[in-house]
Structure 1
């Protein structure tokens, strides 16, 4: 099976031009097939303030009202996405920028209102993803750069978490490729001691994860990422890696620096 890397970048790397350029240089240097999924929340918040659009969060998740869906469509699908694509083109990486609406790659449904109305937030309809269109682009050596936006099939764009988009793409393509899903962030990996940057746990299996939970070794912020990782692995993804954006080139080899989950 041919190798495919699905790589998610967000947070501080997207917000800092120098960090982003360094990361994209490494990303462009990966010779295997690859897909990049990006966030851009802080940039959307900053531009929203300039336009008088207030950001509202509940439990760390953005409430996406009508003004906000227009804002994030412009920022994620336009400004952030096209800057990344242009930079990759300058590095001889034939990138193509997409949202979930393009080629119908990621259809979604508007999240039903339960306790909280999240507004125009999309939950991905995994069985309707256009896997054939994704494969056409990969087989013609396009490198997809995917913004965290989906659509409902009736003309409405929807805001969707970038981690979830990366995981869904990895799962959708795992029947055709040997997929390693890589979540890049500011830490070196999953830390055994949150105060100690070098206490990286190099490998987590389900058994190891259960033990870490019993021992209360993991900080709350990392738990959703690990849960997401095991969900992807249950659905066919071979490996998930959580690591530092600066270690990307190491983390596409067999000698990884971050935390490998398998």
Structure 2
């Protein structure tokens, strides 16, 4: 028997902070029929609020260094403000959304990232285990999990976790149960050879080409974890991975990744 399709969609902070872009994304999300999970970022909003509080963001290769004050900040912003606004907006569009972090129902446990190359990321988590049974039960009852980029270590600590990593991890965990389509959205049309050239979209993006572009510096910052986790998901049995513009999730536009 063929597996039922599950769409796992990730939305980034640049879209979330723009009301018009966010509404266009949500309209497309609603238009995408079938089982769905939404995983969101919110880093730009956290940075903006942090600046107002005197907490300047420290980023290394697109990842936020998270000290004691910063973990409190991102827990409030991701798990509270951003998550509940998305849930409320989806409810207004007729989608039965439920907001979660990785700590809720032990959804995603992580290990605290070790110090590497003299970089201490602080309270940053690398996902280890997904409670796929709980996630599946929510989906099967008709709910749409809306997951903030926060996990926990099982010892009482919330961990800041890259949203692209969470999306890839969740997709891999759900692949035994569903035919998973992982869709990563942001403000561009997809993976571009030149972000300033709208005609440079790479429709079929192979891992070998990613390695070349990363080595040359053409791909950097937040695109590195996005693509690394996307290719890892494909290798873990995820049916398809597409990177596209925020208002194109219900289409076949964008960049399809290939290992």
- Which residue does the alignment assign to 2:161? 160
CA RMSD of aligned residues (A): 2.0
Shift of 1:149: 0.2
TM-score for both structures, normalised by structure 2: 0.91
Pair 151,223 (structure 1): closer, same or farther in 2 beyond 3 Å: closer
In structure 2, distance between residues paired with 1:53 and 1:217: 32
2:246 is the alignment partner of 1:259: no
Q: Which residues in structure 2 correspond to 1:198-209 (within 5 Å)?
A: 198-206=199-207, 209=208
Gaps of 5+ in 1: 251-255
- Which residue does the alignment assign to 2:152? 151
- Which residue does the alignment assign to 2:17? 15
In structure 2, distance between residues paired with 1:241 and 1:259: 5
- Which residue does the alignment assign to 1:253? none
2:130 is the alignment partner of 1:140: no
**Number of residues of Structure 1 aligned to a counterpart in Structure 2:** 252
In structure 1, distance between residues paired with 2:224 and 2:158: 29
2:121 alignment partner, one of 118, 127, 145: 118
**Contact 2:61 2:224 (C-alpha < 8 Å) held by counterparts:** no
TM-score for both structures, normalised by structure 1: 0.90
- Which residue does the alignment assign to 2:43? 41
2:205 is the alignment partner of 1:191: no
Shift of 1:223: 4.8
TM-superposition CA deviations, 1:30-83 (whole Å, max 9, x none): 221111111111111121222333322234321111111111000000000000
In structure 1, distance between residues paired with 2:226 and 2:64: 18
**Contact 1:4 1:33 (C-alpha < 8 Å) held by counterparts:** yes
2:52 alignment partner, one of 50, 53, 66: 50
Pair 192,88 (structure 1): closer, same or farther in 2 beyond 3 Å: same
Q: Secondary structure at the match of 1:232?
A: helix
Shift of 1:185: 1.2
In structure 1, distance between residues paired with 2:164 and 2:257: 15
**Contact 2:165 2:226 (C-alpha < 8 Å) held by counterparts:** no
Pair 113,15 (structure 1): closer, same or farther in 2 beyond 3 Å: same
Shift of 1:205: 4.2
